[in-house]
Structure formats: structure tokens, C-alpha cells
Chains A and B, each alone.
Chain A
Amino acid sequence: MAVDIPHRRRTRWHIAVFLAPAVLVYTAVMILPLFGTLQLSLFTADDQSRVFAGLDNFRRLFFDPRWSATFWNALWNNTWFFIIHMLVQNPIGIALAAILSSPRLRFSAAYRTVIFVPTILSFVIVGFAFKLILSPLWGVAPNLLDLVGLKSLFTPWLGKEEYALTTLGLISVWQFVGIPMMLIYAALLSIPDEVVEAAECDGITGMAQFWKIKLPLILPSIGIISILTFVGNFNAFDLIYAAQGALAGPNYSTDILGTFLYRTFFGFQLQTGDPYMGSTIASMMFFIILAGVCVYLFVVQTRLRRYQF
């Protein structure tokens, strides 16, 4: 808990000094420009001049059949993208961290280093690399499957409506699995030896020790990872843009909120940018993420008792 020393000078200047640089830079370069943009969602263009439109843009987004179909499609795709991360990325991350943190494992530093490598690569590189590897022409993926005798399983995944989004989700998992791994690894290491030793005295070892003793202790870290994944996924854009382009093909099957927003806000090819509808989508993304964060802060976090060091 925060400490308050009551008989201090009334104006505690040091608080202002501590906060000032961050607040100033953040406000000037991020918040003001952002709200300058978000407020546009309440306006619309009328012959080059801006007129106040109230909630018309939101009404259009939800009730115009075209806009709403695209919006719900993007929202659902985004949710699926998030589900893939929660079901694949985070469990793999936790499992890798658990294995890595087992005592006296040799080469663990090398493993840790290598598994984190994809995370440091840019989307430009990841998008291009996987387009090449999965390309039917270049043949890396078909050749690999051929080696294990499964060549018939190869399909042009990125070009099929039913597989493209899941494939991209898995590529994203490949790229970012290092982050939950590192965070959980740090959390596992900070579990005091006494706790582990006490468990071993009681005969709880191996898998049982992980499930019964360690997992409950790292739950707060898992909570943080989940919310970071949520925020990251609902802001995602770059990978899909790099791999599938702004139209998020085939047939919009990989369209997520980020690509929908980009296309609308900045325009694409012949489509001119519409900052007003774009801001409306941005505002919706903001509300969705805000809702997720609130759920985390007020429901999840209060239930997870924070482990005291």
C-alpha cells in the first residue's frame, strides 16, 4: 500500500516533478492529437466544410447494412484472432516458461534467447518470410510436408477463406510467444525457495507441484498477460496488412478492426479516406478496449489476490 506521511509540507512539489515530464510529453504528442481525431466521429463533411452530426456516424456504422456487416465481420474476426492467442500463445508460453524454470536444466539460457528471437523481428520481415514459406510457388511448406509424407495436406492457406485468418493468427502466435514466456519465467523465478521446498517436504513434486503450488502464485502475471494480449490483438493491424494488404483478403476473411479502420480512415487505392467514419470506428475500438480493460481491473484483478514478496 502507498505510504502517506501526514506531516509533510502541504504542497508536495516532488509529486509534480515526478509526473511532469511523462504527463507533458504524453499529453502533447499523444492525447491531444488522439482526441483531436476521436472528436471527428461526431462530425461529417458537407461540401468540404465540417458540420456537427451528433451520433449519426455511429448510427450509420450500426444500422446501415453495409457498414454494419463489415463492422461485425471485423469484430468477429478480431475476436477469433484473440481466442487463438489465448488458446495457443499463452499456454505455449506458460509451458515453455515452466520447463525453462526447472532447476539444473542445461542450455536453458540458449533456449530462452532463441525462443525470443521471432519477437524482435519486424512485421515487414515476418509477413514476407511467411508469405514465402507458405507460397505454393516457392514450395518450402509443400516440400516440408513431403518430407514427412503429408504433402496432400498442403493447401494455399493464406488464399483460402476458411484458413487464412487462423493461419495469420498462428503466425502472430509464433512471433509473440516470447512475451508471455518471459513474463511467466520471471514470475516463476520470483517464487521463494521456501515455498517450493515446503511443497517438496509434503511430497508435492513435478507436474502436481506446478499445478497446485506454482500456477496459483503466477495467476496475477497470467492476468496481466491476458489483458496485454487483449489490448494488443484489438489494436493489431501490421501483420495482416503486411501479409494480406489493406483489403484483408480473400473476401475480407482476414479483416480485423485495425485493417477496417485503416482502409476507412486513410483510404485505399481509389477509395478516398473518410476521417469521420474512420474516427467512428476508432472510437468503437477505443470503447471495446476500454470495456475489456475495465473488466480486467474491476473483476479479474480484484479476485486475484496479489502475491506478496
Chain B
Amino acid sequence: MKRTTLTALLMASSILGTAGIAIAQGKTLTIESWRNDDLAIWQEKLIPAFEAKNPGIKVTFAPSAPTEYNAALNAKLDAGSAGDLITCRPFDASLELFNKGQLADLTDLPGMENFSDVAKSAWTTDDGKATFCVPMASVIHGFIYNQDAFDQLGIKPPATEAEFFEMLEKIKADGNYIPMAMGTKDLWEAATMGYQNIGPNYWHGEEGRLALIKGEQKLTDPQWVEPFATLAKWKPYLGDGFEAQSYPDSQNLFTLGRAAIYPAGSWEISVFNTQADFKMGAFPPPVKQAGDTCYISDHNDIGIGLNAKSANADAAKTFLSWAASPEFATIYANALPGFFSLSSAPVKMEDPLAQEFVSWRETCKPTIRSTYQILSRGTPNLENETWVASANVINGTETPEAAAKKLQEGLDSWYKPAK
């Protein structure tokens, strides 16, 4: 065996001896996560609440930076040194881990009944037979605005696209505020806060998304190209040098009160609440014509699963059942306003901005991001390519048509829709 040889060589060469500290075992559960922002909330609220109910089980929250999470997690899973509980990215990334046998099947986990099929869809096999992560939260896209600035300029949140651009023009003409805080440097802002935010109104949410998966629609069809065309019109309303403006730059631009509107995901709410000293409001992506049905991106974003090789599977399942409970949902949704619980049990939220976002679920049809399910399984990866394309379109270095054509060609190169 190669590994034995390696180990033997290592032993022979290890001058420091083998004074390895064994990985702490027993009843300590380790959670792998990319949400390093949430460290304090886990340590101060969630873990104490769990440990109080389950004496004898200790929980450690061990996040890594979001950009390194996937690579580091995969390496640790392959080598068998990953934590007991794995925070799940939605759709294909986690499905891949399940197919490799690295995530355990949780279909029969007590507590799973608290979730609807839609909530579970992000962590369920294509045939719907097995669910492998407990859904934790979804995020909703929209626009957050500076209420003080709006009052000062006498403008109201727009309902239609025409009103939206009229409003931007007005803010720009006034000159006191940068109309919109968004940059293209980090690429994903352009795709996530831009394309996926406004897109569902064009491709009619689930209808278009499923048609794309079935191969009945193409990314070069008008309903998929138009969002790019609209994005291209955003350019004059972004701040100077937006090409080199990174995500934290955009956040700061808005929270320092220098920009009037922030194309947002609801996860921003908790950060903005602590940093902005002005009142904020939110509006959903504007529709094309007054009276059109509105669609919003209500995207399953985060779940939690069980490392199939965990030595503490029973304790971990106890934790997961708790994570599926309404108690967890309430603590989580209130500690992190903007991460909306996926639980079917009603969750009461205090934050007004979060309530505003979630109220759109009543009037608009929700959908998930178009590139996440099935379409990003191959290379070139549609989601990553959409980042690049959206940034190119806003930067003006590529036309909407050319960008859409490139995306479709990339998709065609490996994706054959089932007939």
C-alpha cells in the first residue's frame, strides 16, 4: 500500500517524533462553514441554546473564508479530517459530495417533516428520493435604498423599469449621491446582485428556468438577453471607477451614505443595520409594464449536513434534528435578519427591513437562481461564466448578445437536455 509506505517513511524521517495530538474526539461536534461572519452568533446564541438542551454534547463552529471553503472542505473530506457537520452549498456542489458518499443520507431524519419539498429541493437528488442536508435559510434579492436620500430628493421606490431609470437619472442630475453602489471587480456582484436580481421578471421565474433546463429555451432567447441589455444601461449610474470597486467597497459606499441605492441580497441587512446611520427601505426588482406579475429570486442558500465518516453520527443527528426545529429557525432568522428560514413553521421576525423583503413572497412569484440547478455541473461552468459575462456587459466590453451567445455555446458544449 502506498499510504503505508508513505507513513513508514514519514515515521523514519520525523525527527520530532510522533507526538501528534489526536484529533479531539468524544462528544465534540465540529461544524465546517464558510459563514465566518456568523461566528459570534453561533458562539453566543445558537450553540449555547443547543448545549443547554443537550448536556454532554459540545459543539465547535469552525468557519473558513468563503473563497477557500470549497477547496479546503473537499481536501479535508478526501483525507478524512473534515468536521462532523458540513454546511451545505445549495444544489450541485453538495449533490456531488453526496454522490461521492461524503454526505450522509438524511431523508429519515426526525425534523425533516418541517420542510416543504421546495425548501428541500436544493439538497435532494434529481429523482427526489434522498435528502442530504437540513435546509437552513434562503436569501431574497431586491434593492435597498437610503430613505433619507429618497426623502431629500422627493422620490419614491419605482414599480416599473421606466420609473426605475427615471429615478436613477434624477439622482444623478441632483449630484449629491452616487445613484447605485455596485462594482464589477469581484464579478459575482454583477451576476448575483445584477443579473439574478432583475432577471426573473424577464424569464418569468421558474417557468423560464425549467424551460432552460429542458432545453426548450436558450440563453440567446430575448427573455434571457434582455436582462443583460438592462444591466448595460446601469453603467452611467454607477460610481467612478466601478470597474475596480470591490464588494466591500460597494457596501461601504452605501453605508457611508454616499450612494442612494444598493442592489442587494437580503443577507446584507444585518451588516447594514450595524453600519448605516440612516433609515433604509427596500423595493423588489421593478417589472417591465405596470401590472405585470412580479418575480423575485428567493434562493435556497444554506443548509447543514452530516459528514458520512463522522465518528459521532448519533450526536450529530441530534444536532441536525435540532437545526430542523422551529426553535432553531426562530433564533437563526432573528439573529441574522435577511436569512429567511425555510421551515414550514411560521417564524416571527422583528427586523422591519427583513419583513419588507419577506413580504414580497405574498405578491411576487419566487424562483431560485437560474444557473444553480443542473446547469452548472459541467465545464465551462455556467454560474462562473455568468459572473464574467455580467461584469463584461456592465463594463461595456461585450455586447449583451455576444455575452449570451458565449454562455449558450459554453452550455451546449457539455449539456444535453433530457428529451
User: A55 CA to B184 CA in the complex, in Å?
Assistant: 39
The residue in chain B whose Cβ has the minimal distance to the Cβ of A271 is: B381
Instruction: Please state if A159 and B67 are interface contacts (CB–CB under 8 Å).
Output: no
A245 with B384: in contact, given A48-B99, A270-B92 (CB under 8 Å)?
no
B91 touches A270 (CB 8 A): yes
Query: Cβ of B91: which chain A residues have Cβ within 8 Å of it?
Result: 270
Q: For A138, list chain B residues within 8 Å (CB).
A: 249
Number of interface residues of B (CB under 8 A): 55
**Interchain CB contact (< 8 A) of A245 among B67, B99, B245:** B67
Q: Mark A248-271, 1 if CB is under 8 A from B, else 0.
A: 011110000000001010111111
Interface size of A in residues (CB-CB distance below 8 Å):
45
CB proximity to A under 8 Å, residues B347-406: 371-372, 376-377, 379-381, 383-384, 387-388, 391-392, 395, 397-398
User: Which residue of A28, A48, A137, A246 contacts B67 across the interface (Cβ within 8 Å)?
Assistant: A246
Evaluate contact between A136 and B242: CB separation under 8 angstroms. Answer: yes
| Proximity string of chain B (205-234) to chain A, C-beta cutoff 8 Å, 1 when within and 0 when not | 000000000000000000000000000000
Asked if A66 is an interface residue, CB under 8 A from chain B, the answer is yes
Q: Check if B244 is an interface residue, CB within 8 A of chain A.
A: yes
Q: Does A247 contact B (CB under 8 A)?
A: yes
**B12 at the A/B interface (Cβ < 8 Å)?**
yes
From known contacts A271-B376, A271-B379, infer whether A24 and B2 are also in contact, taking CB-CB under 8 Å: no
Any B CB within 8 A of the CB of A214: no
Pair A270/B381 contact, Cβ less than 8 Å: yes
> Is A29 positioned at the interface, with any CB of B under 8 Å from its CB?
yes
User: A80-99 vs B: 1/0 string, CB under 8 Å?
Assistant: 00000000000000000000
Known contacts A268-B70, A271-B379; A160 and B243 CB within 8 A of each other: yes
Provide the bound-state CA to CA distance between A269 and B5, in Å: 35
Are B67 and A249 touching (Cβ within 8 A)? no
Which of A154, A250, A273 contacts B184, CB < 8 Å? A250
Closest to A22 in B: B13
Contacting residues, chain A, for B9 (C-beta < 8 A): 24, 27-28, 32
Indicate if B187 sits at the interface (CB-CB under 8 A): yes
Interface string of A268-309 (1 = CB under 8 A from B): 111111100100000000000000000000000000000000
Query: With A158-B185, A158-B244 in contact, do A136 and B70 touch (Cβ < 8 Å)?
Result: no
Whether the Cβ atoms of A272 and B93 lie closer than 8 Å is: yes
- Tell whether, in the assembled complex, residue B93 and residue A137 are in contact, meaning their CB atoms are under 8 Å apart: no
CA A249 to CA B187, docked complex, whole Å? 7
Q: Are A135 and B384 touching (Cβ within 8 A)?
A: no
The reply to whether the CB of A134 lies closer than 8 angstroms to some CB of chain B is: yes
Instruction: Say yes or no: B13 contacts A21, CB within 8 Å.
Output: yes
Residues of A within 8 A of B67 (CB): 245-246
Point out the residue from B74, B241, B380, B387 that lies within 8 Å of A156, measured CB to CB: B241
Instruction: Kindly state whether residue B410 has any CB partner on chain A within 8 Å.
Output: yes
**Chain A residues in 8 Å Cβ range of B418:** none
B13 near A28 with CB under 8 A, answer yes
Closest chain A residue to B7, Cβ basis: A28
Identify which of A29, A161, A271 gathers the most chain B CB atoms within 10 Å of its CB.
Answer: A271
Assess the A159–B184 pair: CB atoms within 8 A.
yes
Are the C-beta atoms of B6 and A270 separated by less than 8 Å?
no
- Residue contact A161 to B6, C-beta cutoff 8 Å: no
B18 at interface, CB cutoff 8 A: no
Residue from A156, A160, A273 within 8 A of B71 (CB atoms): A273
Quick check: A273 and B74 within 8 Å, CB to CB? yes
A159 touching B384 in the complex, CB below 8 Å, given contacts A36-B2, A48-B100, A250-B397: no
A258 to chain B, nearest CB (A): 14
Q: In the complex, which residues of chain B have a beta carbon less than 8 angstroms from the beta carbon of A247?
A: 187, 384, 387-388
Q: List, in ascending order, chain A residues with CB within 8 A of B289's CB.
A: none
Contact A251 B383 (CB under 8 A): no
Q: Are A250 and B376 in contact (CB under 8 A)?
A: no
B97 to chain A, nearest CB (A): 9
Question: Bound complex: CA of A266 vs CA of B70, how far in Å?
Answer: 8
Is the pair B376, A270 in contact by a Cβ cutoff of 8 Å?
yes
**What's the Cα separation between A252 and B392 when bound, in Å?**
11
B residues with a Cβ closer than 8 A to A are 2, 5-6, 9-10, 12-13, 15, 67, 70-71, 74-75, 89, 91-93, 96, 99-100, 183-188, 239-246, 249, 252-253, 371-372, 376-377, 379-381, 383-384, 387-388, 391-392, 395, 397-398, 410, 413
- Listed A/B pairs (15) with beta-carbon separation below 8 Å: A24-B12, A29-B10, A66-B410, A136-B245, A156-B185, A156-B242, A159-B183, A159-B185, A159-B242, A245-B187, A266-B70, A268-B71, A268-B384, A270-B371, A273-B70
